[in-house]
Amino acid sequence: MKTDIPSSALRDAFQASMKSVGFGRRLGGTVYQLWDLELFYEVSDVDASANASDPGVLRGDILANIASFETGIRQLPGWVELCKGVDEQYQGFCMQGISMANYAMSSRNVSDGEIVPQELTLDAQGTDAIPVEVAMDMIRRHQIQDFLFPTGFSVHSSSSKRLRSCFRFIYPAAASEVSVSERRIAIADNLEKWRAFASKQLLPYLRKHASVGAARMYYTGRSLESLDLEEMMSEDMLLAIISVSLVLSYMVYYTQGVFLGLMGLILVVTAVPLAYVLIALLTGDPTISLAFGLSLFLVVGIGSDVVFVYSDFWKASRKRVMTDKQRMIWTYRHAGKASLATTATTAASFLANLASVLKSLRQFGFFMGMCVILVWALVSLLFLPVCAIEERIGARWRSRCRPRESRWPRCSWWPALKEVLRERLRCSCLSSMLPTFRVDYWVRSLAAYKYITVALWLALAAGAMVSGIALANTNTSLPSIYPEEHNHNKILSLSPEFRPLNSLLDLSVLPKPILASVCDEKELDPFRLAHCSLFWCEVKTQAPAVNLDRCSCARQQRNCTNQAQISALVVQRFVHKANTDFSSLDGSLGEFLGNNSEGLFFDQARTRKQHIQAVKHRPPLVLHDWYTGSLQVAALTEVSTNMRRSLGSSLSPSSCGWTDLCFCGLAPCSTPRAPWLALPTGPDLPGARRLAVLAGGFSVPLRQRAFVDVSFGLSLSSDSSILGKVEDDKTWAFDADHEAQNPWTQRNLLKFCEELPEDLRITDKICWIEDFKSFALTRTGRFPVLPTSFDKEATYFAETTVVDETNIKDYIWIRSGEVKASRMRFRIDVHRRAPVFESLRHKSRWDAYVDSYNANAPRSARDAVQTADLWVQAEAVRELISSTVITVVIAIAFSFFGTLLVTFDLLLSIFVVMATISVICFLMFFMVVVMGWVIGPIEIIALIAFIGYAMTYSLHIVHRYGSFRPLSIQSTDRKTLRMERVSFSVRSIGMAALGSANTTVGCSLPMVLCTLTIFNKLGGVILVVTVLSILMALVPLPSLLLCAGPMTPGWWLPALKDWWQKQQTRMAKPEQAEPEPELPESGTMDLEQAERADEEDPKKLKPVRA
C-alpha cells in the first residue's frame, strides 16, 4: 500500500531502480515476447506432517498426477500451435517446460529382453516413477532446483510441501530494425493470440483441475490474472444491472414519473465520469482503480438525496399560485439551501482524507468529494427544468388518472382484477397505493420514551467504541479484491517463497537436454562417465548375505602402457548408502591398500591423506530388483589414490594400477566376471554421517527472515505527490559524486561489509565487493584494483560470477562499460512480519550504522542508503494510526462547522457531531467485533470516508428543525414547541432522507452478493452505514431534540439582522410602518401559514427566546 512516509518512498525509488540493474542493453537483434505460465502445487500441513518421513508433494502418486495434468496442458491444440511458432532453440521451455514431473516420471528406453534402460527421456510420459533421490540428483546437476523448489530448499532433502513448474513461450515478435509502429502492431497481434488461447482453452482446463491428486494447484502467468478479473467482473455485471434497476424503480416511484426518475438517475451517474475527467486533467494521471467503482454506489445514494429534496419542494410549490419561474425561484431558495448544506459538509468530510498517509485513500476521498460537488451542481442546474418540462408534457396523460373506487366482483373475479390493475397502472400517482408515513404518531412514540432512548443510545455507542478500539488490529497491506480461497490470493502467499522466474530465466538460458544417459556401475570410459546422468543395474534376488561391517569388492587391473612409469593410479568406486561419511576414509583405505598392494607402496614422505588425489561423487546408482519390482538408490563415490610402483623387484610383479568396485552394506549387482576378480576382503565401512548443528542461535526460520538492501551510488527521492503518479525514472538517478573506480571507495565498501555490528543480527549476506576482492587477487594480485582497469575487471566479474546461485550482475549498475552504482543485500534474524515496535527498533540500529558509515567515508563513497520492506510496513502502521486520528478529527470538524454555518446554532451542530460519531462507533464495532476484520485500507475508507455520508440524514433533520418558524409561542410550553419542530423536520425531510437511504440500500444489496471481495466487503459496509445513519436520524436524534433541542435555533442571527436594519433605518428617511399581521388565537402557525408568511415577508417573523 502506497504511503507518504520516507521509508515507503525510498523503497519505491529503490525498486524502480532495480528495473534497470545490470548492463542496460538488449540481447540479440530480435524483439521477443515472453509468455509465462507458473504452476504451484501445495499439500496441506496435515498431509505433509501426518508422517515425519512423508515426502509431501514429492510423493509418487502426486507426481504421477502432476505428470498427467501437465501432459494434458501440453496437448491442448492452442498450446501446440503457439509452441510451433517459438524459435527452435527455445521450444523446450514450452514443449517440456521445467518440471519435477519430467524427471520423476521420465520414460525408460529399454532394449528388448533387458530391464536396465540405456537412457531416460525427461518427458513426464513414464508409467513408473523413478526414485525421488535420482530425480533430485539430476535436478541438482542441471541446476534447476531454484525453478522448482522454494528458496532455502536442500536438494538432498526428499520432502517438500510446495513445488513449482515453469513454462515459457519466447515468441519472436519482430526484428529490431522494423519501425516502432510495426513492432507494436506485431506485439499486439501476438498478445491477442495468447489471450484468446488462455481464455478459451487454458483457463478452463486449469480451473477444472484445481486439485491434482492430493495436492492443490494454483496458477499465474501472462494475462491470466486480468482474464480472471474480467470474467469475475462480467459475472458481477448482472448484479450491477439489478442494482441500477432497483434504484431506477424507486426513483420512478418517488418522483411519480418515469421521465423524472430516469433523468434524475442519469444526472447523478454522469457526475462519476465527469469527476474522473476533471481529476485526470488536474493531476495528469489517467489511471483508475477498482475502488473508484465504489463511488458509483455512494454517489447514487447521495445524489438521490438531492433529487428527492428538489422533487419534494417542487411538488410543494404546486400548492402555491405562482408561475413556473416563481416556483423555480422558491424551490431553489428552499431546496437549494437544504441540499447545499448537506453537500458542502459531505464533500468536506470526504476531502478531509487528503490528510491521510495512504495514497489510495487520498485519491478516493478527493474523487468522492468532486463527485458530490458535481452531483449537486448537475441536479441543481438541470433537474428543475426537467421537472417543468415533464409537468407540461405529462399533464394531459395524468389528467386521465382519476381516483376510482374499486369493487370486488361477485362472479368472475379474474376480468375484474385485470380491470382494477389496469386502472391502477394508468395512474402515475403510485404513492396512493402505499400507506403514508404517520409522522405525528412516530414523534409522539419517541416523546414517550425519549430519555430511555437517548440513554440507551449513548451507552451502546460508548460500549461499541471501547470494544472496537480494544480489539482492533491494523494491516497496511494491499487489500485483495478476490475471495479468500481464490487462486490469486494463494499465489500472493506462495510466489514470494520462490525465486522470481525472470531472475532465473533470460534469453541467454537454453532448455536442458531432454535425454539422460544411463551407465553401468562398471563403466570406466572417461567420456561416458562425463555424460552419465545416473547408474543402473539389476540386482539378483538370490544374492548372498551382505556383511554390514565390511565392503565386498571386485577388482579390474589397468593396462600398462609404459612399464617404466613410477606412479600408478588406484581408483576405488564405493557403492554405499547415502548417509555414509567418507571424511575419515584415509585410515581404512590405507590399511586396505597396504594389504592388497600388488607391488605398489605409499610414498613415505607423504601422509595417507595426501595420497588421496580426489574424491568424486558420481550420480546415484539404481539397484533394480526385477522380482519384487523395487528400486533402491545407492550413492556412488570414487576415491583416486596415487601409489608408487616397485620397479625392478623380483618378489612380485608390479601393477600399473586398478579399479575397485566395492558394495558397502549393499548386495552386489552381480557376481564378478572377467576381467573383474573378487577380492577376499574389503575396507571397513565408514561410519554414518553426523549432521552438524550450526551455532548462532537464530530464532527466525530462514524463509521468514527479513531482507535489508543497501545501495551505493544511487540518489533515491523520498518525495511523493499528493494525488498524481510519479514516474519511476524520476524517483532515482545515479549519484554524480560516486566513484566506484576510486581505491578508497573500494576499501570503504569492503569495510562496510566486514565491520557489521552484531546487533544488526545478520545471518547471511551478499556483498559483491568481498567476492570481487578474491577475484581481483586471483587475476591481478592486487586489491583495490587500479582505477584504470577497475571497470574492465568489474564488468568481466559481473558477467561471469555466480555467488550462492545469484548472478552478481543483479547487484551492479553498469552503463557503457562503467560501474555507476551497486547494492548489498543482508538477511537478518528478524521476522519479515515482526511487530511494529520491534521493527522500528531494528531500523534505528541500521540507520545508526549507515549514518556512521556515511559520516566517516570519503565523498566518493558516502552515499549509502538502506531500505527494507520491513521498515515500510512498520512505519506505515505507525503513521496510519496517527493520520487516521488526524483525518477523523478534521472530518468531524468539517461536519461541526458545516452544520454551524447552516443552522447557526452551536447546540444543533454538537448534536449532529454526536450522531455522526455514534454511527462511526457502531460501524467499527460491526467491522472489528461482529465480522472480525483487521483494520486495513478498506476499513479506513469506511471509518473516515463515510463520515460525510453518515452525517447527511442527521444534518437534514436538524436543518429543518431550525427552519421551523412559529409566529408566537408565548402561550406554548417548551415540550409542545419541540414536538412541533421535530414533527415539522421529520415531515418535511424524513421521506426524502428515507428515500435516499432506500436507493443506497438498493445499490448495496447486490454488492454484497458480488464475487469480488472489495465490492462484497464495501457493499456490506455501505449497507450498515446507511441503515445506521437513517436510524440515527429518525430515532436517537429526534429523541435528543425532544429532550434538549434549542427553542429558538440561531436566535442571534435574526437579532443581528434586526439591529443592522435599525441602524440603516435611522440613517435613511423614515417610512410609514406597515401593520403587523394578526395572529391566530392559538398563537402558533401551521406549516402552510408559516410558509405563506415567510413568502410575504420573512422579516416579520420575530424569534422567540427561550
Task: Among 524-528, 877-881, 1000-1004, name the one with the lowest average pLDDT.
Answer: 877-881
Q: Establish how many alpha carbons lie within 13 A of residue 188's alpha carbon, considering only the half-sphere containing its beta carbon.
A: 6
d(CA 348, CA 728): 32
Which backbone phi and psi does 700 adopt, to 5 degrees? Answer: -110, 135
C-alpha cell at 758: 552484531
Q: Is 621 helix (H, G, I), strand (E, B) or coil?
A: strand
Place of cell 404513492: 431
**Mean pLDDT over residues 458-478, rounded?**
81
Terminal Cα distance for the chain, rounded: 54
Measured N-to-C along each axis, helices 1013-1034 and 906-925 cross at an angle, to the nearest 10 degrees, of 140
Q: Does residue 216 or residue 805 have the better pLDDT?
A: 216
Q: Is 160 helix (H, G, I), strand (E, B) or coil?
A: strand
| Most confident range, picked from 338-342, 344-348, 360-364, 827-831 | 827-831
pLDDT(37) > 80 = yes
pLDDT band at 514, cuts 50/70/90?
A: confident
Q: Exposed, middle or buried, 103 (CB in 10 Å: 0-12/13-18/19+)? A: buried
d(CA 1103, CA 606): 118
d(CA 266, CA 44): 51
pLDDT(314) > 80 = yes
Residue 154 in contact with residue 43, Cβ under 8 Å?
no
pLDDT, position 599: 66
Q: Which of 990, 813, 12 is nearest to 437 (CA)?
A: 990
Place of cell 428543475: 384
Kindly report the number of other CB atoms within 10 A of residue 237's CB atom: 10
d(CA 175, CA 3): 41
pLDDT digits (tens, 9 = 90+) for 733-748: 888 888 888 888 888 8
Question: Containing H/E element for 107?
Answer: strand 107-109
Which backbone phi and psi does 275 adopt, to 5 degrees? Answer: -65, -40
d(CA 341, CA 974): 27
Amino acid at residue number 1033: A
pLDDT, position 206: 92
C-alpha cell at 565: 612409469
Q: Is 860 helix (H, G, I), strand (E, B) or coil?
A: helix
Residue 892 in contact with residue 916, Cβ under 8 Å?
yes
Residue 1019 in contact with residue 1007, Cβ under 8 Å?
yes
| Most confident range, picked from 488-497, 644-653, 1035-1044 | 1035-1044
Which backbone phi and psi does 937 adopt, to 5 degrees? Answer: -60, -40
Q: Exposed, middle or buried, 470 (CB in 10 Å: 0-12/13-18/19+)? A: exposed
pLDDT digits (tens, 9 = 90+) for 993-1047: 787 788 778 777 877 887 777 777 777 888 888 889 889 988 999 999 999 888 8
d(CA 414, CA 412): 6
User: What percentage of the chain carries pLDDT values higher than 70?
Assistant: 75
Measured N-to-C along each axis, helices 337-351 and 359-393 cross at an angle, to the nearest 10 degrees, of 160
pLDDT, position 407: 45
d(CA 471, CA 926): 12
* CA-angle at 900, arms to 899 and 903, nearest 5°: 80
Q: For the chain, how many helices (H) and strands (E)?
A: 39, 24
d(CA 4, CA 272): 27
pLDDT, position 542: 55
pLDDT, position 691: 33
pLDDT, position 643: 76
Find the Cα–Cα–Cα–Cα dihedral 791, 796, 800, 801, rounded to 10°.
-40
Residue 639 in contact with residue 662, Cβ under 8 Å?
no
pLDDT, position 411: 45
Q: Does residue 156 or residue 494 have the better pLDDT?
A: 494
pLDDT, position 78: 92
Q: Which of 615, 609, 548, 544 is nearest to 576 (CA)?
A: 548
pLDDT band at 552, cuts 50/70/90?
A: confident
pLDDT(872) > 70 = yes
C-alpha cell at 455: 440513554
Question: Containing H/E element for 243?
Answer: helix 224-255
The full DSSP string for 511-550 is: PPPSEEEEE-TT---HHHHHTEEEEEEEEPTTPPPP-SSB
pLDDT(218) > 90 = yes
Q: Does residue 1028 or residue 597 have the better pLDDT?
A: 1028
**Mean pLDDT over residues 56-83, rounded?**
91
Kindly report the number of other CB atoms within 10 A of residue 1069's CB atom: 5
pLDDT band at 694, cuts 50/70/90?
A: very low
Which backbone phi and psi does 52 adopt, to 5 degrees? Answer: -60, -30
Q: Establish how many alpha carbons lie within 13 A of residue 341's alpha carbon, considering only the half-sphere containing its beta carbon.
A: 29
CA quadruple 1050, 1054, 1057, 1063: dihedral positive or negative? negative
**Mean pLDDT over residues 54-68, rounded?**
87
Q: Establish how many alpha carbons lie within 13 A of residue 869's alpha carbon, considering only the half-sphere containing its beta carbon.
A: 14
Q: Which of 777, 768, 750 is nearest to 813 (CA)?
A: 768
pLDDT band at 66, cuts 50/70/90?
A: very high
The full DSSP string for 710-762 is: EEESEEE-----SSSPPPGGGSEEE-TT--TTSHHHHHHHHHHHHS--GGG-E
**CA-based radius of gyration for the chain:** 42
**Mean pLDDT over residues 962-989, rounded?**
74
Kindly report the number of other CB atoms within 10 A of residue 529's CB atom: 15
User: What percentage of the chain carries pLDDT values higher than 90?
Assistant: 8
Q: Are strands 806-807 and 802-803 parallel, antiparallel or unpaired?
A: antiparallel
Q: Which residues pair with 806 in a beta bridge?
A: 803
The full DSSP string for 779-822 is: HTS-SSPPHHHHHHHHHHHHHH-EETTEEGGGGEEEETTEEEEE
pLDDT(377) > 80 = yes
- Average pLDDT, whole number, for the chain? 77
Which backbone phi and psi does 162 adopt, to 5 degrees? Answer: -135, 150
pLDDT digits (tens, 9 = 90+) for 890-920: 778 877 887 787 778 888 888 988 988 898 8
Q: How many residues are given for the chain? A: 1106
C-alpha cell at 468: 472496537
C-alpha cell at 380: 441543481
Label each residue of 1062-1101 as H, E or C. Answer: HHHHHHCCCCCCCCCCCCCCCCCCCHHHHHHHHHHCHHHC
- Residues with Cβ within 8 Å of 1081's Cβ and at least 6 positions away in sequence, in order, are none
* CA-angle at 357, arms to 353 and 363, nearest 5°: 50
pLDDT(957) > 60 = yes
pLDDT(225) > 50 = yes
- Residues with Cβ within 8 Å of 272's Cβ and at least 6 positions away in sequence, in order, are 292, 295, 296, 299, 371
pLDDT(342) > 80 = no
Residue 359 in contact with residue 2, Cβ under 8 Å?
yes
Q: Is 192 helix (H, G, I), strand (E, B) or coil?
A: helix
pLDDT digits (tens, 9 = 90+) for 836-862: 778 888 889 999 999 999 888 888 888
pTM: 0.65
CA quadruple 693, 695, 701, 705: dihedral positive or negative? negative
d(CA 1024, CA 650): 106
Long-range own/partner contacts, residues 234-239 (CB < 8 A, 24 or more apart): 235/1011, 236/1010, 236/1011, 236/1012, 236/1015, 239/1006, 239/1007, 239/1009, 239/1010
